[in-house]
Chain A
């Protein structure tokens, strides 16, 4: 990459400075443009983000309700364990099957998240092909286009993930209240759940960025004419 840039500036020199060398914008400029894009498209972005929200709410709920149930069981609150067993939520704590089932659900939630996010990002890129083509006509470098989409998706990822996690945690607590009553509050595994929330935040944001990479790269590589002609 850098070698081609060097040879480019050499050639530009030999052409009496007729053709220059497009500058790479400081990162903060890309952040500013991306942030404005997000703000202006808030409604639209929220729609795209809803996929992320749902997926992360699901993932967080699975992990946190499992953690809560385990904690209640481990604290020796036998009456709750009986209740748990009756409901089949926690067949047997020492049972490997239960763990396998939880991990299976977590895997499913992750898959749902990834597909939802990838779909959302593909959608948001393809509906803006014409805009990307125009930007390239105006002198935007491929790298800037990638940066813009990655930044936008990072914003979306963080916000969507945060909302999703909040919903997931609330669901867990509301359900806990329903099942175990007010004593549930003394038995919330705060540290454990905070760690899970952290993991979910990383997973959601990470998946969003990974999901945005391919569409953003594809959009940036497109010839401006093709991008502008693309019908959606």
Chain B
């Protein structure tokens, strides 16, 4: 891990050291069970047909993501970010090519394995939050655990811990409508972590948030990488949301145009902080 500005930069919610998830990763790696690349996309193509006209949403994407990496997918609207995320998240299948999660071809999974993958292996965060509107914050976080067969009491306890972790300890019984956009996205972050996923997929998580709140969410995702040993993939079309990335993959018209490493990025949280004192 590159050096981290521990003291000053981390918002207080991140300092609550109570981690709901066990520290995994290290031991499992030693057992040699887990592959280095938790995500591997090989020649992924996806064509949609709009009124008979083919739309090449993805034109052959190759991408490998290491365990514990924070990768941002950067590209303008319509460049194929969501389509790529749907492939990786097991929500859609490539027309050509393969997506491997932990070296398992997602296209080969049956319904039950696919549901298990979505439930245990991957945490999803959406631009529009996608919380269940009639359920309270804590119930939203409990859903994935209940689907996994966790008991009500256990799920309740863990959901409360996770919500505390994302700084919503005082609002666990609020309905989504009673929460701000940033708070709703925090609930979504907690929900994504419910079953200790290996991967968190965040599709434009800051798209509906102002700059300040968006940055908080990005920092929170960065914190997850450290504390929960998750691999984070985050899509954005906003240059300002790249600061946490280990790698930035630039997507253009359904293909990767170039890739930048962290040290090649010229953007840091610090510079942003100076810029938006007045915001939020």
Q: A interface vs B, CB < 8 Å?
A: 4-5, 7-8, 11-12, 15-23, 25, 29, 32-33, 36-37, 40-41, 130-131, 133-142, 144, 223-225, 228
28 intermolecular pairs with C-beta atoms under 8 Å apart: A4-B110, A4-B111, A5-B110, A5-B112, A8-B111, A8-B112, A15-B104, A18-B103, A19-B109, A19-B117, A22-B147, A40-B134, A40-B135, A133-B130, A134-B132, A135-B132, A135-B147, A136-B115, A137-B130, A138-B124, A138-B191, A139-B144, A139-B147, A141-B111, A141-B115, A141-B147, A224-B118, A228-B126
Expressed in whole angstroms, the Cα–Cα distance for A8 and B117 within the complex equals 13
The answer, yes or no, to whether B209 is at the interface (CB within 8 Å) is: no
B195 contacts across to A, CB distance below 8 A = 139
Q: Contacts A8-B110, A21-B112, A225-B92: A135 and B117 contacting too (C-beta < 8 A)?
A: no
Q: Which of B33, B115, B117, B118 has the most CB of A within 10 A?
A: B115
Q: Contacts A131-B133, A225-B86, A228-B130: A139 and B115 contacting too (C-beta < 8 A)?
A: yes
Q: Which one of A12, A25, A138 lies within 8 Å of B118 (CB-CB)?
A: A138
B148 with A139: CB separation less than 8 A: yes
B33 with A18: CB separation less than 8 A: yes
Expressed in whole angstroms, the Cα–Cα distance for A135 and B112 within the complex equals 14
B116 with A25: CB separation less than 8 A: no
In the complex, the chain A residue whose C-beta lies closest to that of B83 is A225
A232 shortest CB reach to chain B, Å: 13
Q: Closest 7 A-B residue pairs measured CB to CB?
A: A139-B119, A22-B115, A22-B116, A139-B147, A8-B110, A40-B134, A138-B144
Q: Which one of B86, B102, B115, B130 lies within 8 Å of A18 (CB-CB)?
A: B102
The answer, yes or no, to whether B121 is at the interface (CB within 8 Å) is: yes
A134 with B147: CB separation less than 8 A: no
B130 with A29: CB separation less than 8 A: no
A23 contacts across to B, CB distance below 8 A = 148-149
In the complex, the chain A residue whose C-beta lies closest to that of B121 is A19
Q: Contacts A134-B132, A135-B132: A29 and B111 contacting too (C-beta < 8 A)?
A: no
Q: Contacts A130-B130, A224-B91: A138 and B143 contacting too (C-beta < 8 A)?
A: yes
A12 with B113: CB separation less than 8 A: yes
A134 with B121: CB separation less than 8 A: no
B205 contacts across to A, CB distance below 8 A = none
A22 contacts across to B, CB distance below 8 A = 112-113, 115-116, 119, 147-148
The answer, yes or no, to whether B65 is at the interface (CB within 8 Å) is: no
Q: Which one of A29, A32, A37, A225 lies within 8 Å of B91 (CB-CB)?
A: A225
Q: Which of A19, A131, A140, A223 has the most CB of B within 10 A?
A: A19
Which residues of B in the span 149-163 have a Cβ within 8 Å of any Cβ on A?
149, 152
B144 with A20: CB separation less than 8 A: no
Q: Which one of B86, B89, B110, B146 lies within 8 Å of A25 (CB-CB)?
A: B146
Expressed in whole angstroms, the Cα–Cα distance for A8 and B78 within the complex equals 36
Q: Which one of A25, A137, A142 lies within 8 Å of B111 (CB-CB)?
A: A142
The answer, yes or no, to whether B229 is at the interface (CB within 8 Å) is: no
Q: Which one of A11, A15, A18, A144 lies within 8 Å of B147 (CB-CB)?
A: A144
Q: Which of A11, A22, A37, A136 has the most CB of B within 10 A?
A: A22
A85 shortest CB reach to chain B, Å: 55
A131 with B147: CB separation less than 8 A: no
Expressed in whole angstroms, the Cα–Cα distance for A142 and B111 within the complex equals 9
0 or 1 for each of B161-201: is its CB under 8 Å from A? (1 = yes)? 00000000000000000000000000000010001000000
B119 contacts across to A, CB distance below 8 A = 22, 138-139
Besides A20-B113, A22-B147, A135-B147, 17 more A-B contacts (Cβ < 8 Å) are A5-B112, A15-B104, A18-B102, A19-B116, A22-B112, A36-B139, A40-B134, A137-B91, A137-B130, A138-B118, A138-B147, A139-B116, A140-B147, A223-B91, A225-B91, A225-B92, A228-B130
Q: Which one of A5, A7, A139, A142 lies within 8 Å of B120 (CB-CB)?
A: A139
A37 contacts across to B, CB distance below 8 A = 134
In the complex, the chain A residue whose C-beta lies closest to that of B139 is A36
B110 with A7: CB separation less than 8 A: yes
In the complex, the chain B residue whose C-beta lies closest to that of A15 is B104
